């Protein structure tokens, strides 16, 4: 013996969707600031490729990263147009590859594009 569930009223659902959800936002209402720039790209790549690496959104032109007690700071070298360790050493211009190198240097697991 099966119990049937009452079906939702499609007319009621449609009405709920078409009702206004509040007043439109004024042009002066503040929206979250969109973060852009090479360090934000690296931060996003780390979140995708090496989610176990701890990283906070970049501050003061530096991205601080860590994994199991190992920490480092990555900066963007605008003159060379590439990521670099704050202590010295280049990581290259590509955020995805730099994320893999950061994870590798910290002995953290990371995925590559071929991992899907």
Backbone torsions φ then ψ of 3, nearest 5 degrees: -100, 130
* Structural domain includes residue 98: yes
Low-confidence stretches of the chain (pLDDT < 70) are 1-35, 114-116
Calpha distance 71→65 (Å, rounded): 6
* Structural domain includes residue 59: yes
pLDDT attached to residue 29? 59
* Structural domain includes residue 116: no
- Which residue's structure tokens are 């701890």? 54
pLDDT attached to residue 10? 52
Calpha distance 61→38 (Å, rounded): 10
**Based on the structure, what is the number of domains in the chain?**
1
* Structural domain includes residue 33: no
Calpha distance 73→95 (Å, rounded): 15
**Token representation of residue 12:** 């009621």
Calpha distance 69→63 (Å, rounded): 16
Calpha distance 40→13 (Å, rounded): 40
* Structural domain includes residue 6: no
* Structural domain includes residue 76: yes
* Structural domain includes residue 15: no
CA-CA-CA-CA torsion for 68, 86, 51, 97, nearest 10 degrees?
-130
State the residue range of the domain holding 90. 38-107
* Structural domain includes residue 96: yes
Give the CA distances from residue 17 to residues 11, 56, 79, in Å, rounded to whole numbers and listed in that order. Answer: 10, 37, 52
Nearest to 97 by CA among 52, 56, 41: 41
């Amino acid at each position: 013996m099966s119990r049937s569930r009452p079906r939702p009223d499609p007319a009621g659902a449609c009405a709920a969707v078409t009702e206004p959800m509040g007043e439109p936002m004024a042009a002066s209402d503040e929206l979250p600031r969109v973060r852009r720039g090479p360090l934000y790209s690296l931060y996003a790549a780390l979140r995708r490729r090496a989610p176990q690496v701890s990283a906070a959104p970049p501050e003061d032109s530096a991205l601080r990263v860590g994994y199991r007690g190992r920490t480092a700071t990555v900066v963007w070298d605008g003159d060379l147009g590439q990521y670099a360790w704050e202590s010295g050493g280049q990581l290259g211009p590509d955020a995805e590859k730099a994320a893999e190198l950061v994870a590798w240097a910290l002995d953290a697991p990371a995925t590559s594009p071929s991992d899907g």
